[in-house]
Chain A
Amino acid sequence: MKKLVPSLALHAALIAGALFALGPLLWMVSASFMATGEANTFPPRFLPAAPTWEHYATLFTRLDVATHFRNSLIVTVSATLLSLLINAMAGYAFAKLRFGGRERIFGFLLGALVIPAQVGMLPLFLMLKTMGLVNTLTAAVIPFLASVFGIFLVRQYALGIPDELLDAARVDGAGEWHIFRTIVMPVLMPILVTFAAFNFLSAWNDFLWPLIVLSDNSKFTLPVALASLSGEHVQDTELMMAGSVVTVLPVILVFLFLQRYYVRGVMMGSVKG
């Protein structure tokens, strides 16, 4: 009995917090199903009177959002797959393969984390322009291919691989690439899923770089297309909410499926200090 009042107060606070966090997202979903103009009424409505799919239909027929969805998917999936291999190799080597200058190079990479991405962005844009890559999806993928954070995550995890396991394979005459593929990759799988989840979310949600480097509407990723639509369709609240749902839903689903792995990445990132 003594604990009833504190427990009620605690759960009231927890629920209030959940309403604050989820409220805007729930309203976004609800308003995307409202008839045109219904979201701009006073007092505001929370649920649509007669739910309709018409705004989603408009997005995918008249506004070609399917193309932007496809662009986002191509950029995100290729960035994630390529970066997995590149960073897994580097992270494993920094942890387990002894070579000259290893610690110095790794320290240098960590130090570079303090340089904000914007510093390199303008020259990178000019570089890609001379290479003829501006306004291609390749250009949107490039900054995600190698990541110091990814190398760091894999390295921390790979440090736990026992040397005896690798040495036994070496004594049996296995080559380093073979060891990496057949012994190391399976052991690293959990951290690779973590990194894949991180990379997927940040590539999908990225805005400034694709905004700079993609100039044709047909090349836009979803966030860039959405920002440009929101300029032309300021008044169409319900349509913009449907567009936001289409943009946000994939990342929310990926997060909900891979939550355990993603949370591990947040924790590992926080112990590096």
Chain B
Amino acid sequence: MKGSIERRQAQAGRWFVLPALTLIGVFFFVPVVVGLVLSLTDFDIYAIGDPSIARFVGAGNYVEILRNPVFWKALGNTLYFVFASGPLMMIVSLAAALLLNAKLARARGFFRTAYFLPVVTTIVAVSIVWRYLYHPHYGWLNFALGKLGIPPIDWLGDPHWAMPAIIVLAVWKNFGYNMLIYLAGLQGIPEELYEAAHLDGAGWWGRFVHVTLPGLGPTMLFVSITTLLNQFQLFAEPYVMTQGGPLQSTMTLVLFLYEQGFRWWRMGMAAAIAFLLFLIMLTGTLIQLRLSRERTR
């Protein structure tokens, strides 16, 4: 009797996970494996009509990509974006969380919602909004800088400023998410630790360095890895604001992939770019895990 209940439970369990596993298998794992094969072929616009004409080219696509200066430009830009916006976002998120967590703070609910609101907005829409805020003549940003005596900057038209402009937009859009996670981390630090540090004569900076930061350690690792994984996939902002220009200064890996795959229909090439992106992201994650392990040792 007991055995039959267990057997029925196991059977039900398999049925219950079947729809999800089938969908993930057919629409994710199969494409990933096919993508690997695709990246070893010269699949192009003609092959879309007749897949049989695609030929196996071995590592040919990978070699060609590594020889393509646009790839290195896109990789450099993506790394610039990741390594500049990552720490900047961490500082802004943490500062916002500390402000909200201050004992004196009033109307916390309102401020928390306000800071979080950009996170839920549609990236295409806010990219368009910021494109006008960055307008060299009529934009609010140059107007405000003008008040400080700084001459107008052609934010999205100048190859030196286009990427910083996208970084500021990304920080604005995303800091609220990490702020919430930091806030939860801060609330998990026992009050006694602060009191003990206070009794030892530590000022607010001392308490921040010796109590808050160590207390947030695991949270910070999690936040930095998820931020990294998201930021490697930068696409919509440059697609809408600059189309990768000026002078390819905002060309990113995913934008490069999109152009190869869906503008020039070089699917084999684009699949190879996707796998390189995956390898780069994996390497980044592993380095980060290793670094944090060494620090805690």
Cβ–Cβ < 8 Å partners of B106 in chain A:
11
Expressed in whole angstroms, the minimum distance between the Cβ of A39 and any Cβ of chain B is 7
Expressed in whole angstroms, the minimum distance between the Cβ of B160 and any Cβ of chain A is 22
Cβ–Cβ < 8 Å partners of B267 in chain A:
122, 126
Q: Please, how many residues of chain B have a CB less than 8 angstroms from a CB on the other chain?
A: 96
Query: Which of these, B6, B16, B34, B126, contacts A89 with CB under 8 Å?
Result: B16
CA distance A169 to B50 in the complex (A): 56
B172 touches A20 (CB 8 A): yes
CA distance A25 to B132 in the complex (A): 12
CA distance A87 to B223 in the complex (A): 25
B31 touches A90 (CB 8 A): no
**Segment at the interface with B among A49-57, A96-104, A185-193:** A96-104
Q: Which residue of A lies closest to B140 (CB)?
A: A44
Cβ–Cβ < 8 Å partners of A175 in chain B:
12
Cβ–Cβ < 8 Å partners of B20 in chain A:
86-87, 89-90, 146, 151
Task: Tell whether B221 is near chain A: CB-to-CB under 8 Å.
Answer: yes
Write out, one digit per residue, whether chain A residues 32-43 have a CB within 8 A of any chain B CB (1) or not (0): 000000011111
Q: Which residue of A lies closest to B120 (CB)?
A: A255
Task: Tell whether A244 is near chain B: CB-to-CB under 8 Å.
Answer: yes
Expressed in whole angstroms, the minimum distance between the Cβ of A234 and any Cβ of chain B is 9
CA distance A256 to B112 in the complex (A): 12
Q: Which residue of B lies closest to A256 (CB)?
A: B113
Task: Tell whether A60 is near chain B: CB-to-CB under 8 Å.
Answer: no
Task: Tell whether A165 is near chain B: CB-to-CB under 8 Å.
Answer: no
CA distance A92 to B100 in the complex (A): 36
CA distance A224 to B134 in the complex (A): 22
Query: Which of these, A25, A127, A145, A170, contacts B118 with CB under 8 Å?
Result: A25
Q: Please, how many residues of chain A have a CB less than 8 angstroms from a CB on the other chain?
A: 95
Cβ–Cβ < 8 Å partners of A24 in chain B:
118, 126, 129-130, 133, 172
Expressed in whole angstroms, the minimum distance between the Cβ of B91 and any Cβ of chain A is 13
Task: Tell whether A247 is near chain B: CB-to-CB under 8 Å.
Answer: yes
Write out, one digit per residue, whether chain A residues 165-177 have a CB within 8 A of any chain B CB (1) or not (0): 0000010000111
A97 touches B13 (CB 8 A): yes
A159-208 interface with B by 8 A CB criterion: 170, 175-177, 180, 201, 204-205, 207-208
Q: In the complex, which of the residues B8, B16, B133, B138 has the most CB atoms of chain A within 10 Å of its own CB atom?
A: B16
Query: Which of these, A28, A124, A143, A227, contacts B124 with CB under 8 Å?
Result: A227
Write out, one digit per residue, whether chain B residues 1-45 have a CB within 8 A of any chain A CB (1) or not (0): 000011011111110110111011001111110110010000000
Expressed in whole angstroms, the minimum distance between the Cβ of A273 and any Cβ of chain B is 4
**Segment at the interface with A among B56-64, B65-73, B76-84, B273-281:** B273-281
Cβ–Cβ < 8 Å partners of A20 in chain B:
172
Task: Tell whether B236 is near chain A: CB-to-CB under 8 Å.
Answer: yes
Cβ–Cβ < 8 Å partners of A11 in chain B:
105-106
Q: Which residue of A lies closest to B16 (CB)?
A: A93
Query: Which of these, A17, A90, A121, contacts B21 with CB under 8 Å?
Result: A90
Task: Tell whether A66 is near chain B: CB-to-CB under 8 Å.
Answer: no
B129 touches A114 (CB 8 A): no
A266 touches B121 (CB 8 A): no
Task: Tell whether B239 is near chain A: CB-to-CB under 8 Å.
Answer: yes
Query: Which of these, B126, B131, B184, B233, contacts A116 with CB under 8 Å?
Result: B233
CA distance A44 to B121 in the complex (A): 24
Expressed in whole angstroms, the minimum distance between the Cβ of A227 and any Cβ of chain B is 5
A123 touches B129 (CB 8 A): no
Task: Tell whether A63 is near chain B: CB-to-CB under 8 Å.
Answer: no
Expressed in whole angstroms, the minimum distance between the Cβ of B144 and any Cβ of chain A is 9
Q: Which residue of B lies closest to A151 (CB)?
A: B20
Task: Tell whether B143 is near chain A: CB-to-CB under 8 Å.
Answer: yes
Q: Which residue of B lies closest to A91 (CB)?
A: B20
A114 touches B281 (CB 8 A): yes
Expressed in whole angstroms, the minimum distance between the Cβ of A9 and any Cβ of chain B is 10
CA distance A273 to B274 in the complex (A): 25
Task: Tell whether A81 is near chain B: CB-to-CB under 8 Å.
Answer: no
Query: Which of these, B21, B23, B114, contacts A18 with CB under 8 Å?
Result: B114
Task: Tell whether A135 is near chain B: CB-to-CB under 8 Å.
Answer: no
8 contacts between A and B (CB under 8 A): A14-B105, A97-B9, A99-B11, A122-B35, A180-B16, A207-B239, A267-B184, A270-B222
Residues of B within 8 A of A (CB): 5-6, 8-14, 16-17, 19-21, 23-24, 27-32, 34-35, 38, 48, 51, 96, 99-100, 102, 104-107, 110-111, 113-118, 120-126, 128-133, 135, 137-140, 143, 172, 176-177, 180-181, 184, 218-219, 221-223, 225, 229, 232-233, 235-236, 239-240, 254, 257-258, 261-262, 267, 270-271, 274-275, 277-278, 281-282, 285
Give me 20 other A-B pairs in contact (C-beta within 8 A), A23-B140, A90-B16, A143-B27 excluded.
A10-B104, A13-B99, A18-B110, A21-B118, A40-B137, A100-B10, A116-B277, A120-B32, A120-B35, A122-B35, A126-B34, A201-B120, A212-B262, A223-B124, A223-B125, A227-B240, A247-B122, A248-B125, A270-B222, A273-B225
Nearest 4 pairs between A and B by C-beta? A97-B13, A176-B12, A120-B31, A93-B16
